[in-house]
Structure 1
C-alpha cells in the first residue's frame, strides 16, 4: 500500500501559513521567521492559491534589489506557477516531483482550495519510516 498525502496530513495536520499578495516582502520574511518555516502560500479570494513565496525567493529579491525590495508586495517576488498535489498523491509521486522540479514545498488542494502543505521533510520522514518497516520485516523473515 502506498502512503498518500492524505495519510501524512492526517498525522501532521492541515494548518498552512498563508499571506495575501499585497503583503510586503519584509512582512513575508517576518512571517517565515516567526513561524520557523521555509515557505508561505500566497492566497487570493476564497483561499485559492495565487503563488508561493519561499526563502529562496527572499534571497533572490534582496540579491537583485537590496533592502528596497522589503517594501514591495510579495506578489512581485513569489512563484506564481505553483505545482500542487491532492490528497491521493503518493509519497513516491511527490519525491519525483520535488526532485525533478527542485522545490521543497507542495501545497495540497481539494476542489481548487488550499487544504494543506507537504514539505520535503514530511516526505523524507515518511520514506525513512517505510525503509525501517521493510528492514524489520526482513529481520523477522530471516529470524523466522
Structure 2
C-alpha cells in the first residue's frame, strides 16, 4: 500500500497555519481541531515547518510559560521530513521510526497535499497483515 492509497481513503484535507501565529493560539488550535501537529506553511503554500505537541512541551520546559508568547516559528521543527504519494507504507514507517516523529506531510511539486500520521500507517499495515492471514487460511483450507 502507498501513501496515495491512504490519502484516497482518509482524505487530503490539511489544516495549516502561518509561522507568525502565537504559540498560545497554536495550542488552542491543536486542541480545538483535536490534532497533535499542524503544518506551518508560507504564503505560497510551501512547507516552512511543523509544530507538534512535543515542540510545545520542549519550549515550555526550556523557557517556561514565556514560551507561549513566542511565535510558533521560534519553536517549530523547521527541518521537516516529507514524503510523496508513491512512498510505500513500509518506507514511511521506517522514516517515522528512525526520525522519532508521528506526523509526516505529503507534498507534491513543493506543495502540501496531505498529511499522514503513524496511526494511519499502522492501521493500514494491520489491515494488510490481517488480509494476508485470511488469504493464507483460505489457501490452506482450499
Q: TM-score, normalised by structure 2?
A: 0.98
Matches within 5 A, 1:65-104: 65-104=63-102
For 2:100 and 2:61, the matched residues in 1 are separated by: 20
How many residues are matched? 142
> CA shift at 1:45, angstroms?
2.0
For 1:114 and 1:55, the matched residues in 2 are separated by: 20
Matches within 5 A, 1:1-144: 3-144=1-142
Structure 1 alignment gaps of length 5 or more = none
> CA shift at 1:139, angstroms?
0.8
CA RMSD between the two structures: 0.6
Give the 3-state SS of the residue equivalent to 2:115 in structure 1. Answer: strand
> CA shift at 1:120, angstroms?
0.1
For 1:25 and 1:129, the matched residues in 2 are separated by: 37
For 1:32 and 1:45, the matched residues in 2 are separated by: 20
For 1:100 and 1:69, the matched residues in 2 are separated by: 28
Give the 3-state SS of the residue equivalent to 1:11 in structure 2. Answer: helix
Q: TM-score, normalised by structure 1?
A: 0.97
